[in-house]
Chain A
Amino acid sequence: MTMHSEVDILLVEDNPDDLELTLHALRREHLANNIFAVRDGEEAVEFLFCTGRFKDRSWEHPPRLVLLDLKLPKLTGLEVLKLVKNDPRTKAVPIVVLTASREERDLVASYNLGANSYIQKPVDFDQFREIVKSTGLYWIVINQHPLSNPLTRAATP
């Protein structure tokens, strides 16, 4: 994994196959220089709040995009969402839920908790790659991300 100083995309995924596929799809499109992966909800929260294992991370460089699985050890995806989207310091980070779940209630809960978007992982490998590619393209190229943490944002014209 790359240095976690200026991370473009944070992947929160505990399934190693899915992680591999996602990384591969993103790298092929050259969408991001730094992609960092964490394996459970607790690590994700520490990363985004610059605490614990990631206390040396700077608030000035939040990731441009978080791809968040829902079924995670230690802290679930929904719990991570709740913590991150309820805190003004981290609320602006774009979080796209990328999950195998087909449950309507997971979808509704995610949007209610403030997920920017929700994607269901296809079973088919090619479709999975396609969806990751399109998601990456939209959120990194088309979408404008908030430049920096509101607490440390420099004066703007």
Chain B
Amino acid sequence: MSSAHKILLVDDNPADANLTCEVLATSERPAQVSTVADGEQALQFLHRSGQFAEASRPDLIILDLNLPRKDGRAVLAEVKADPELNDLPVVIFTTSHAPRDIARCYELGANSYVSKPGNLGQFFSAVRSIENFWFGFASLPD
């Protein structure tokens, strides 16, 4: 296993993406975060095509739902239907608390679903918890 954990962060809101990256940077475990702002770029990254030919396979995907061009649900569905990618853990990280969205994501195979809190302190806590669980306790496929 390589030294730094690789995270693909898919979020179209630069302010949120920025916050998330800042929190991830505070972890004792070094992480290499790649951020893309829409669903199509996310899939290109994962397929290592186009501008992302040099991309490396992430260990974890943090995926927002409401994205331009291809929304998070479509990305999730494609990833989980692809035998090359379906073992990649996908954590949905979105503002939506709607039970309908939550249920739908699990149906599509999301590993985990975390709602973005409105409060700054809780937001930090949530991101920290995600990083802490998936890289501190869980075992991930190589």
Write the residues of chain A forming the contact surface with B, with a CB cutoff of 8 angstroms: 88, 91-92, 94, 104, 107-108, 111-112, 114, 116-120, 131, 134-135, 137-139, 142-148, 150, 153, 156-157
Contacts and interface: CB of A to CB of B under 8 A. Distances in A.
B10 to A, nearest CB: 18
Interface residues of B, number: 30
Interface of B: 86-87, 89, 97-100, 102-103, 106-107, 109, 111-115, 126, 129-130, 132-134, 136-142
B58 to A, nearest CB: 14
Contact of A131 (B86, B109, B137): B137
Contacts of B138: 117-119
Nearest to B126: A142
B99 A116 contact: no
A107 B103 contact: no
Given A88-B107, A108-B141, A135-B137, A144 B114 contact: yes
B124 to A, nearest CB: 13
A94 B138 CA distance: 14
A111 B113 contact: no
Contacts of A92: 103, 106-107
A142 B107 contact: no
Contacts of A108: 87, 141
B137 A147 contact: no
Contacts of A135: 133, 137
A88 B104 CA distance: 11
Contact of B139 (A116, A120, A137, A142): A120
A143 B112 contact: yes
A150 B103 contact: yes
